[in-house]
Structure 1
Amino acid sequence: MTLQIHLQIVGCLLVMLGLSHAFMNRYFGWSNELAGVSLLTRQIFYVHAFFIALGVVLGGAVSLAYHDALLSPAPLNRAILLSMAFFWFCRLLAQLFAYDGATWRGNRFRTRMHVAFLMLWCYVTSIYGFAFIKVCGT
């Protein structure tokens, strides 16, 4: 597969991930979890969750719609690709080190999701990284 196709796949995956945030409140029971915190903290949490989802959708949409343009050698493309690779690399590190293993160990579904997201972050980081290297080399 070509790098263009991989950028489209990454874009599609990120758009789906961003849109899935609409269902996370129900799945994770955030309303109940956040009932004991102040109104301001609850609102900040929901606003941040919305903007994270929006950022993921928009980043994915750029990769999906402009995969060819991203791979043309230009300073802006290098900046975008390097930024995306760095962002998703940081997310990969968070998956490895920010979540306590007690939240997923012993639970088959959560363990599978932990591994699936590790693989997703590795894939997304790699594709943006390879795209950056390609753009720098042309």
Structure 2
Amino acid sequence: MILHFKITGILLIILSFSHIVFPRYFKWKEELKPLSLINRQIMIIHTFFIALLVFLLGLLCLTSATELIDTSFGKKISLGIGIFWFIRLIFQFFGYSAELWKGKRFETVVHILFSLFFGYMSVIFIMAYFM
């Protein structure tokens, strides 16, 4: 189980750094222009804090896997994280329209990979609670 936490930690850190390319990839300069200043800034600032939280979660998995698995408090934290990623998995299918990825090779691959990743993290963290 510790190995799974270490793998998850590395993947979460990679995911956090992937947020750096969001503004350019999603063309936020043009796409967010019609929004009010507050909505543009919320989008940018929330993306930063999501990336920061994902990074810190990855760091937690890398540095404290044993505590997350073996202590009562760690198990509760793991359960909460597992529930978070399970809900994120549900949103992968019901929060985003399928027209964003269906029939598009790259987007479909990304959709499948993220679905597997969110499912993997859900199982690992929830299992840690019950072990």
TM-score by length of 1: 0.92
Identity, in percent, stands at 38
Equivalent position of 1:27 in the other structure = 25
Q: Kindly state the Cα deviation for residue 73 of structure 1 after the two structures are TM-superposed.
A: 2.7
Equivalent position of 1:68 in the other structure = 66
Moved over 3 A (4+): none
Distance in 2 (alpha carbons) for counterparts of 1:30 and 1:121:
25
How many residue pairs are counted as aligned between the two chains? 131
Query: Which deviations, in whole Å up to 9, do the C-alpha atoms of 1:26-51 show, x marking residues without a partner?
Result: 11112211011011110011111111
Matched, 1:55 2:53: yes
Q: Kindly state the Cα deviation for residue 24 of structure 1 after the two structures are TM-superposed.
A: 1.1
What secondary structure is seen at the aligned counterpart in 2 of 1:71? helix
Distance in 2 (alpha carbons) for counterparts of 1:31 and 1:86:
34
Equivalent position of 2:39 in the other structure = 41
Matched, 1:124 2:118: no
Please report the RMSD computed on the Cα atoms of aligned residues, expressed in angstroms. 0.9
Stretches of structure 1 that go unaligned for 5 or more consecutive residues are none
TM-score by length of 2: 0.96
Stretches of structure 2 that go unaligned for 5 or more consecutive residues are none
Equivalent position of 1:80 in the other structure = 77
